[in-house]
């Protein structure tokens, strides 16, 4: 009898242990990190991870890659690849065709004016008397992962967004953030708008009072390492880089005190703008108690100086390399601070970029590579003259931006013209211009279902109420410039790999080291976070969760 009782007790204990183990496992599956830190590096091409690898320290990019998970083949899946659409796509998990941020600017047919992606005349600046704070996410047509986190926790989660650029802060912050801060170059302060707060918090005022921009701009920008060690870049003195206004040549050292003028805007175009951003972010973590609340908090952090430097000097410049070597140190400082403030492995980080960049066309040409630039103003004037010949004199072209032609639809209707035929004629006319690979009409994008090819990139970037009538696709290596004969600096915006291929790195809470060469999309970041946090995906999500990094 005793043997039966002992056996019975053993069976009961076994099932209780299994049940407890399953309950514990279920409990662990519902855990969330204390803090999510989203990092977007403006204009960071994928190859920067490895081009400068031997110069990076162990605590920044290398720490994220070696101790985290790297998607080596991550791309944007739409055109145009600009800052506003990039930040919106990362945080909404979808493309401009759905979230509505089709460019940094677009033409508004109802007002006849150009619209900036975060413009909002209904709000006012906070922390400045300039109009730099008249911004909000009003033009964003979908929720963000930060919105969904706030909704899921009944607003117990705290969301703070920081970037020198207003759009790099506001679009990641979403519609429900506790705070979004950006830089006002007129006074050197971090500011916000009445959309978020009626006044700057005391901690922000105290940080501004330190006047760090004066410290950064009162010293020259010299290289972090001896100049001769920058073997990954072109020689310092060359013909492919734009100089600062008061320089005779674009070479080190850059005399910042001489260049700065009467404002603080110059800080953006130096690596110290990133350091300033990092310092403010660390202060925000401390002052807002991020990672110490009952629910998961979110810090949306974007580094913009990489973009300003990249535009001015190009992707092969020593200035660009020096900016990334300094950013690597800033990242190391930030991660070490999060270790101390939040706790190692208690926070989850992702790092990506809003777009890449093309080679400077003149540099590419010097290396016998296909390249060139087109001038929107010249194309617009040429299309106007063409339509005048076709239909009589009239203001036929209202705008030309984001690689798109905006035709005067009311004028066409008043003259009883077939808009689709007019679009086809303009598309056929522009297709003959040097540098233009393909033209696609709005009628085609609205009616056809493109899943692959260049047209699919155009369709995902097209929203009828905000987009133009004819979309241009440039040849690889070609950029949209101002004169059509650009010889210095570079830009971005196309559907080719140098603009679309960016890093996606995951690090920290529940992330096991690894890498994947599977082609993934930037729109996959938000649904992956939603899975990890056990919350709803953003309202317009078209991406998918990245299963490799989710495996625990």
| Residue 455: exposure state from Cβ atoms within 10 A (0-12, 13-18, ≥19) | buried
What was the pLDDT predicted at 6? 52
What was the pLDDT predicted at 20? 44
* Residue 482 neighbours by CB distance under 10 Å: 12
Could you give the CA distance from residue 386 to residue 354 in angstroms, rounded to a whole number? 36
Could you give the CA distance from residue 454 to residue 539 in angstroms, rounded to a whole number? 26
Choice among 81, 83, 92, 541 that is catalytic: 83
Which residues, at least 6 apart from 302, have a Cβ–Cβ distance to it below 8 Å? 39, 40, 41, 42, 87, 162, 163, 164, 165, 168, 169, 172, 277, 354
Closest CA to 126 of 188, 193, 183, 202: 193
Tell whether the model's pLDDT for residue 14 goes beyond 80: no
Which residues, at least 6 apart from 167, have a Cβ–Cβ distance to it below 8 Å? 83, 84, 87, 104, 117, 118, 135
Closest CA to 526 of 514, 509, 510, 544: 544
Percent of the chain's residues with pLDDT above 70: 94
Could you give the CA distance from residue 279 to residue 297 in angstroms, rounded to a whole number? 19
Instruction: Describe the crossing of helices 83-92 and 145-152 by its angle, rounded to 10 degrees.
Output: 30
Tell whether the model's pLDDT for residue 445 goes beyond 70: yes
Average pLDDT over residues 330-356: 98
Mind listing the pLDDT tens digit for each residue in 207-217? Answer: 999 999 999 99
First to last CA, the chain: 45
Could you give the CA distance from residue 48 to residue 43 in angstroms, rounded to a whole number? 10
Of the listed ranges 27-41, 222-236, 454-468, the least confidently predicted one is: 27-41
CA angle, 432 as apex, 426 and 433 as ends, to 5°? 95
Pair 213, 264: CB distance under 8 Å: yes
Tell whether the model's pLDDT for residue 369 goes beyond 90: yes
What was the pLDDT predicted at 24? 41
Task: Indicate the average pLDDT of the chain.
Answer: 94
- Token representation of residue 150: 């706030």
User: Over the range 496-532, which residues count as b (16 or more CB within 10 Å of their CB) and which as e?
Assistant: bbbbbbbbbbbbbbbbeeeebeeebbbbbbbbbbbbb
What was the pLDDT predicted at 29? 52
What was the pLDDT predicted at 18? 44
Mind listing the pLDDT tens digit for each residue in 127-139? Answer: 999 999 999 999 9
What was the pLDDT predicted at 485? 76
Residue with tokens 């110059």: 266
Could you give the CA distance from residue 47 to residue 49 in angstroms, rounded to a whole number? 5
Model confidence at 447, pLDDT cuts 50, 70, 90, reads: very high
Could you give the CA distance from residue 141 to residue 92 in angstroms, rounded to a whole number? 9
- Token representation of residue 73: 């083949």
231 tagged catalytic? no
Q: Do domains 35-360+494-550 and 372-480 have the same CATH topology?
A: no
- Token representation of residue 227: 């100049």
Tell whether the model's pLDDT for residue 78 goes beyond 70: yes
The listed CATH number (3.30.70.20, 3.30.1360.150, 3.40.190.10, 1.10.10.10) that belongs to domain 372-480: 3.30.1360.150
User: Can you tell me whether residue 365 is helix, strand or coil?
Assistant: helix
Mind listing the pLDDT tens digit for each residue in 269-278? Answer: 999 999 999 9
Q: What is the DSSP letter of 220?
A: -
User: Can you tell me whether residue 151 is helix, strand or coil?
Assistant: helix
Could you give the CA distance from residue 461 to residue 467 in angstroms, rounded to a whole number? 9
Phi, psi of 512 (to 5 degrees): -95, 140
For 52-152, where are the alpha helices, taking DSSP H only? 61-66, 83-92, 96-99, 145-152
Tell whether the model's pLDDT for residue 380 goes beyond 90: yes
Could you give the CA distance from residue 158 to residue 429 in angstroms, rounded to a whole number? 52
Tell whether the model's pLDDT for residue 2 goes beyond 70: no
User: Can you tell me whether residue 352 is helix, strand or coil?
Assistant: strand
Mind listing the pLDDT tens digit for each residue in 154-167? Answer: 999 999 999 999 99
Fold of 35-360+494-550: Alkaline Phosphatase, subunit A (3.40.720)
Pair 193, 135: CB distance under 8 Å: yes
Closest CA to 70 of 506, 518, 522: 506
Percent of the chain's residues with pLDDT above 90: 92
What was the pLDDT predicted at 45? 98
Domain ranges of the chain: 35-360+494-550, 372-480
What was the pLDDT predicted at 27? 40
């Amino acid at each position: 009898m005793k043997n039966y009782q002992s056996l019975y007790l053993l069976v009961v204990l076994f099932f209780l242990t299994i049940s407890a183990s399953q309950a514990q496992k279920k409990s662990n599956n519902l855990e969330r990190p204390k803090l999510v830190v989203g990092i977007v590096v403006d204009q960071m091409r994928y190859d920067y991870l490895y081009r400068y690898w031997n110069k990076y320290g162990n605590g920044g990019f290398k720490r994220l890659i070696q101790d985290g998970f790297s998607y080596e083949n991550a791309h944007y899946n739409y055109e145009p690849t600009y800052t506003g659409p990039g930040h919106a796509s990362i945080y909404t998990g979808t493309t401009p065709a759905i979230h509505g941020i089709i460019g940094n600017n677009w033409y508004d047919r109802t007002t006849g004016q150009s619209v900036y992606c975060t413009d909002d005349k209904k709000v006012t600046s906070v922390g400045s008397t300039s109009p730099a704070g008249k911004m909000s996410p009003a033009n964003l047509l979908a929720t963000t992962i930060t919105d969904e986190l706030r909704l899921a926790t009944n607003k117990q989660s705290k969301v703070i967004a920081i970037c020198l650029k207003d759009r790099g802060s506001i679009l990641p912050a979403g519609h429900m953030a506790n705070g979004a801060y950006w830089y006002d170059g007129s006074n050197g302060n971090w500011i916000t708008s009445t959309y978020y707060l009626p006044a700057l918090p005391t901690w922000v005022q105290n940080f501004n009072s330190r006047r760090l921009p004066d410290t950064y701009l009162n010293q020259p920008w010299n290289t972090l390492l001896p100049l001769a060690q920058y073997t990954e870049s072109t020689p310092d003195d060359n013909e492919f880089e734009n100089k600062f206004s008061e320089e005779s040549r674009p070479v080190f050292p850059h005399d910042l005190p001489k260049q700065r003028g009467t404002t603080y805007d110059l800080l953006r175009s130096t690596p110290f703008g990133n350091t300033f951003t990092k310092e403010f972010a660390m202060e925000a973590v401390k002052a807002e108690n991020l990672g110490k609340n009952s629910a998961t908090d979110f810090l949306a952090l974007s580094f913009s100086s990489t973009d300003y430097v990249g535009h001015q000097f190009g992707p092969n410049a020593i200035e660009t390399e020096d900016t990334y070597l300094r950013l690597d140190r800033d990242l190391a400082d930030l991660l070490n601070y999060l270790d101390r403030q939040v706790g190692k492995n208690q926070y989850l980080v992702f790092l990506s970029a809003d777009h890449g960049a093309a080679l400077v066309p003149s540099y590419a040409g010097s290396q016998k590579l296909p390249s060139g630039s087109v001038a929107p103003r010249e194309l617009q004037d040429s299309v106007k003259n063409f339509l005048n010949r076709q239909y009589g004199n009239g203001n036929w072209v209202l705008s030309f931006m984001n690689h798109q032609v905006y035709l005067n639809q009311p004028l066409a209707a008043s003259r009883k013209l077939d808009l689709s035929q007019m679009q086809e004629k303009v598309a056929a006319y522009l297709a003959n211009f040097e540098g233009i690979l393909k033209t696609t009409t709005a009628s085609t994008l609205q009616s056809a279902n493109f899943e692959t090819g260049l047209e699919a990139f155009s369709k995902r970037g097209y929203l009828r109420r905000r987009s133009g009538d004819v979309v241009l696709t440039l040849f690889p290596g070609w950029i949209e410039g101002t004169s059509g004969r650009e010889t210095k600096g570079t830009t971005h915006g196309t559907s080719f790999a140098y603009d679309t291929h960016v890093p996606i790195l995951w690090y920290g809470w529940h992330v096991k080291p690894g890498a994947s060469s599977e082609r993934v999309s930037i729109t996959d970041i938000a649904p992956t976070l939603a899975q990890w946090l056990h919350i709803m995906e953003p309202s317009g999500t078209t991406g998918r969760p990245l299963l490799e990094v989710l495996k625990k």
